[in-house]
Amino acid sequence: MPLHCLRDCHFKQNSLGGDDTLLSVDIVAVHGLEEDEFEAWTDPSSRILWLRDLLPKTIQAVRVLTFGYRAPASAFYGHGSADRIQQHAHTLVADLQADRALEGCPQRPIIFICHGLGGILVKKALAYSSSRTSKNVEHLYSIFTSTYAILFFGTPHHGLEQGSWTAIAPNKSHSMLKPRHQESQLLSAIKPGSETLQAITDQFAPLMKQFHIFFLWEEIPSDLPDGLRYVVTEASAAPIVDNTERAGVSANHAKMIQFSDASSTSYRTVMESLLRYSRDAPAVISRRWQQATEALSRARSNEAVELTGLAFDVHNSGRPFYYERKISEMLKNKFFFIPQVVSSIFTGRQDAASVVAALLLNPEGTSFGQQRRLVIHGIGGSGKTQFCSKFAQDHRESFWGVFWIDATSTETAKQSFAKIGKLGGMEATQNAGKHWLSNVTEPWLLIINNADDLGLDLSSLFPEGERGHILVTTRNPSFRIHATVGALEFTGLRKEDALLLLLRASGFRRPWDSSTEERGNEITDALGNLALALIQAGALILRQICRIDDYLGLYHEFRKKISKRQLSEDSRGEDQTIYATWEHSIESLERRGTEESRDAVQLLSIVGFFHFEDIRVDIFTRALKNKSRESSPEFQASFVGMLLRGLIARMEAPPILPEFLRASSRDLDPSRIRHALHSLHSFSLISYNSRDDSFSLHPVVHSWARDRLTRGEQTLWAQIALNVLAEAILLPPDDAGETHEEFRRDILPHLDFCLRARPIQILDYDNYFGGLKFPIALPWRFSLLSVMRAQVLTAAKCGYVYAERGRFNEAAMLLSQVKDALLKTKGVQNEHTMRAMLGLAATYWGLGRLEEAVGLQKSVVTARIRSLGPDHSDTLSAMDQLGRSFWLHGDYVEALEFQTITVQRMKATLGAKHADTLSAMDNLGVTYGSWQRFKESRDLHLQVLASRKKTLGPGHLDTLATMNNLAMALKDLGVLDTAKELMTGVYEQRKQKLGKEHPWTLWALCNLAKVHTELGRFQEAESMLVPGIAAAKRSLSDDHLGVLMGLGELTRVYARQKRFQEAESLSQHLIERFEASRGKEHPDTVYTLYKTAQLFEIQNKLVKAIELCELADERVRARLTDEHPMAKDISWQLQRLKQNQDVPLSQPSAGLPSKTHSKKLQTYKTF
C-alpha cells in the first residue's frame, strides 16, 4: 500500500526565520476500485498524468502524493469487506503521517482528491484520525487537523447501484465479471442502505464542518453489458449538503479523473477550486494548529477525550467546536455473544445496573487511557451471571462487540478466546483472540464469567492495552484487586425484589393477598433472597408440586437430608441452602415413573459430569445416530450368524449407557432427548439457548447434580457420561467435514471434565487373561474382552480429539494405551494396530519425541511389507510418510534413499499421475533441495505442479504447496523474479483461503521474505517477518519450527543490513531454542551454529567463530555423511578460519573441496 510522491517541493527557511513549508500544501490523491495509483489519473491516449504534468503549472507551492492499495473487486468479497476498508483507511493515515513527519512538514495543509471507493476510505481515515487524541497516538490526529479540503469524484456516498460495479473494472471482460455479480460481497459494504456505509457516514457527518467539500459527479453514462448507465448516480455522488460545492464532469466514471487538456471546462473548474483552497489553506491550518494544541491539553485535563471530539468550523473563521462522540450514535453492534438468554422474569438489581453503567461507560469513572474493569463477587446463586447478561443486553448498542469468556478453568478460557480469535479472522487460539481485542479500536465489552478458582491467574485473561470494558463475575472476593473502576458484592436481592421474583416465578398475578405475601416473605427469608433458589422454588409451586403454604415444610425436610451427605470439593457450605430447593424437583420426576421423567433424571445425572455450559443437544442425537449404525447386515445374514449373535449377546457385558441409548436400533428415538430436556427446563434446572441449540446448568445446579448421587452412583454415571461422548465421536474417515470438526472442538470442555471424574485405564491383557485357560472361563474371558474393546475404542476417540486440538500430552497418554492393547490382542500386522501406531507417531511429532515417532513408523512399514507386500498402496503410503519423517528429523541420507525407492515403486504400481505418487514426488523434491540438488528439485516440482494444476486446479491447497516448493528451488537457483511471482501468488491465495494468520499463510510470508532478502530488498523482508513472527507466536508457540525459521531469516536480514548486534543476539537465542526443540545434532541446529560462526567471522571475532564452527563440524556427521553439502561447507569454513588464525590445520575431512567453496547452503521447510 505505497504512498508515492508525484511532484515534490523543496523549501528553505526564509529571511525572517519563518518556515516556507507552511505556505505550501500537500495534495493527496486516492484512487478507487480496480484502479492503481498511477493509471487511474492518466489519460490512456496522451499518457498525461495531470496531477504530475498539468497541476504544478498552475499551483507551484504544492507537493502531490498518490496513495495506492490493492483494489481488485475480489479483494473485497466476503464478510471482511468492512474490515478491509478499515485496514486501508488506517494505513493511509499511518503512511501519510510518517511521510510528512520525515519530510519535516507534519502541520502542512492537506487537500484530498478521491475517486470512487477512495472517497469512502478518506472519510473513514479522517474519522479514525479524529479519534487519535490519546497522548500515545496523537501524532495520527495531525492528518485530521491538517486537512482543509476534499474533492470527491464519483464517490458513492449513498451506495453503489447493483449492476453498476462491472464498469469499475474497465480492463476486465464483462463475461469474467458477470458470474461474480450476484455474489459480490462488496455490494454488502457499499450498496444503498449498507450498514458499513451508514456507519462511515455517521462517523464522518459531525466532522464535515471542518472541511471545504466539493462533490463531482459523472455526466456521461458508462457502457455496461445491459446498456448505458451511470456507475454512481448524481444523487449518490453529490448529496445536497449545506456549505458544500457541486459540479458535473463531462466524462464517464473512469475518465472523469483523466484530464489531458488544460483548457477543458471540467479541468478548469477543478483547478480553480484547488487554486483557491491552496491559497487559503496555509493561514487557516496554521491558526487551527495553535487552537488544537491548546484545546487538546485542556480536554485531557478533564478526561473527556474518549467521548468527545474536537473540530474546527472552516466556514465560521475556524471556530473550534466539540462534538459528542456518543458510542450508540457512532457504532452499531456487530458482535453479540452471551451464552445465556436473559430470563423473562429477571427482577431487581436496578441500583447495581446504574452503578455499573456509570462506572463502565462514564469516562470520569477511571483515569484516561486505562482499561475499565469491574468485578462482581458474591455467593453462588446470587444472580451474577444473569445480571451481566441483562446488562449486556440493555447496553448492546453501546458496544461494537460483546464477548463472553468461560473462566471456570484455564482450558475453558482458552477455548473462549479461541472462538473470539476466529471471529476476528485470525487463528482459533487464545493469543490470537486476546491480540485481536487489544487492537480493535471500537469499544467492546468482555464478560469473564465464573472466575471462581483460587488458582486462576485472572490477570492473564485481560487483553493487553488500555482498550475495552471488562466485567468479571467470581465467588472469590480477593479478585477485587484487579478492578480499575470498582467492585460490587452480590448477596441476596432486596426483600421486595425477592418477593416479586418468587411470586412471578410461581405464577401469582397481582394483586396478592396478605397471606400470599406473608408466606412468600417467609420463603424468601429461608432461601436468603438468592435469585437462583427463588426461581427454583417458584417453578415447583407453578407446576403444583407443592402449594406455597407447604413449601417451607418440604424445604426443611430436604435440607436435613442433604446435611447428612458428604459434599464434593466443588461445593460450598452456602450451597446447601439452594440444594434443598432442587430435591423437590428430582423426587417429583422420580415419582412419575414415565419414560420422559426417567430420561430427564438420567440426562441430569449425565450432564453433571460434563462442563456446565454450552452443552450441545447434538451430543445426544449424534450418539443415537451413531449407535443405530452398529448393526452389521452381513453378520445377521446367515443362520450361523444369528446363533452366534445370540451367544455373544448372552456372554457380552451389557453396554453402560442411559436407557435412551440402550434400546434396539429400530427403537432409538431422538425425540426422547427433546422431551427429557423439556422436563428439566420446566423445573428450571437448565437454561436453553435456541441460537446454537445448546443448554447450560448453573454451576451450583451442576454441583448438586453430582452431590445428590452416592459415591458408587457417581462412578457409574461418570462412566456413562464418558460413554455417551464416545458414542457421539466418529473416527476417520467418517469424521470428515467442518461440522464434525466444530463439534469436536465444542465437546472438548466436556471431555476434560468427564476424564477428570473417570480417567480411562484399559484393562491389562496379560494380568486379566493370563490365568483364564479353562473352558469354563471362556464366558468371562469374552466379557472382559468386550469391556476392553470398548475401553480401547473410547480411548482412541478421546485421543483423536485431543490430538486434533493440539493437546498432545493427553493424546499421547491415551493413544499409547490403545497401541499397547492392540499389540497384545491383535498383533502388529493388524490394520487397526498399525493405524493406532501411525496416529501415536503423529502425536509424538507434536511433542517433539521424534525418535519414537520414526520408530513407530518403521514398525508399520515393516509390518505392511510382510502382510500386504512391498507394492501395496497402503505400504507405499506408509513409506512416503516415513521418508518425510526422516527428512523432518534431519536424517537426510535415509530420507533420500527411502523416498527415491518409494517414488520408483509408486510410479510403477500406481502410475506417475496418481495423487499419492505426486505427493511422494513433491516430498522427494524437497529432500533434493536439502542436498543442494536444486535443478532436480525444480524439475520434480514442475512435473507435480503441471499435474496438480490440471487435476486439482491452480488454487487447490496441494497445488499451492507445490508452487511454494518450486519457488524455493528457483530462489536457490537464482531465478529470483519468477520465485517472487510464485511466492506472492501462494501467499495471497493462502491468505484468502485460510486467513492471514494461518500457519501455512505465515510460512508462505516467511518464504516470500526470503526471496526479498535475496533481491536485496531488506526493508520489505523485515516488514514481512516482524509481524509474521509475532502472529506465528500467537497461533503456534515460541519454539515452533515455523517461528524459529522466521527468526532465522530475520537474523539474515539484520546481518545483511550490518545490524550485527541484533543479528548476533537472535542467533544465540536460535541456537538455544533449536537445541531444546530439535536436538543438538539436528541439521537445523548445526546450520544455525554454522551461520552464527560466519556472523562472528564478519565481525572479526575469529576465536568465537572457530569455536562454533568446530562444534558444528563435530555434530554434523551424527546425522549426515561427509558427502553432504553441509558437511563440506562446514569443513571448508573451519579450515579457512584456522588458516586465518595461524592454527595448524588438521587432516582434511573426507570429501573436503581442495580449492573452491561449495555452493552456499540454503535450507527450507514446507508444511
Give 231-276 pLDDT, tens digit per residue: 898 988 998 888 899 999 999 999 999 999 999 999 999 999 999 9
User: What pLDDT score does 1063 carry?
Assistant: 92
The full DSSP string for 398-432 is G-SEEEEEE-SSHHHHHHHHHHHHHHTTS-SSHHH
Using one digit for the tens of pLDDT, what is the confidence trace for 912-954?
999 999 999 999 999 999 999 999 999 999 999 999 999 999 9
What stretches of 652-746 show up as alpha helix (H) in DSSP?
659-662, 671-682, 699-707, 711-728, 738-746
Lowest pLDDT segment from 320-324, 520-524, 576-580: 320-324
User: What pLDDT score does 328 carry?
Assistant: 38
Confidence of residue 195 (pLDDT cuts 50, 70, 90): low
Lowest pLDDT segment from 10-14, 476-480, 481-485, 809-813: 10-14
Beta bridge partners of 29: 66, 113
Which three cell numbers, joined as nine digits, stand for 685?
434446572
Helices (H) and strands (E) in the chain, counts: 47, 20
Whether 3-323 and 329-491 share one fold: the answer is: yes
- Determine how β-strand 687-689 pairs with β-strand 694-696: antiparallel
Q: What single DSSP character describes residue 762?
A: P
Rounded-to-5 percentages of helix, strand, coil across the chain: 60, 10, 30
User: What pLDDT score does 1072 carry?
Assistant: 92
What is the distance of C-alpha 19 from the center of its chain?
49
CATH architecture of 3-323: 3-Layer(aba) Sandwich (3.40)
Asked if 1062 and 1102 count as a contact pair (C-beta separation under 8 A), the reply is no
Using one digit for the tens of pLDDT, what is the confidence trace for 844-901?
887 778 889 999 999 999 999 999 999 999 999 999 989 988 988 888 999 999 999 9
Beta bridge partners of 278: none
Asked if 1095 and 1067 count as a contact pair (C-beta separation under 8 A), the reply is yes
Rounded to an integer, the average pLDDT of 26-45 is 91
Using one digit for the tens of pLDDT, what is the confidence trace for 609-650?
999 888 999 999 898 888 766 544 543 444 334 433 443 444
Could you tell me the residue ranges of all domains in the chain?
Answer: 3-323, 329-491, 493-590, 593-730
User: What pLDDT score does 541 carry?
Assistant: 84
Cα–Cα distance measured from residue 1137 to residue 346, given in angstroms and rounded to the nearest whole number = 80
Torsion over CA of 96, 97, 102 and 108, rounded to 10 degrees?
90
Beta bridge partners of 222: 229
User: What pLDDT score does 76 carry?
Assistant: 43
With 60 as the cut, is the pLDDT of residue 287 above it?
A: yes
Asked if 1076 and 1084 count as a contact pair (C-beta separation under 8 A), the reply is no
Beta bridge partners of 336: 402
With 90 as the cut, is the pLDDT of residue 780 above it?
A: no
Using one digit for the tens of pLDDT, what is the confidence trace for 112-135?
999 998 999 999 999 988 887 766
User: What pLDDT score does 1007 carry?
Assistant: 94
With 50 as the cut, is the pLDDT of residue 774 above it?
A: no
Which three cell numbers, joined as nine digits, stand for 374?
469491574
CA neighbor of 971 nearest in space, from 1019, 938, 1006: 938
Using one digit for the tens of pLDDT, what is the confidence trace for 1097-1135?
988 898 999 999 999 999 988 888 888 898 999 999 888
What is the distance of C-alpha 334 from the center of its chain?
17
- Name the CATH code of domain 329-491 (choices 3.40.50.300, 3.10.180.10, 3.30.2130.30, 3.40.1020.10): 3.40.50.300
Confidence of residue 601 (pLDDT cuts 50, 70, 90): very high
The pTM score is 0.61
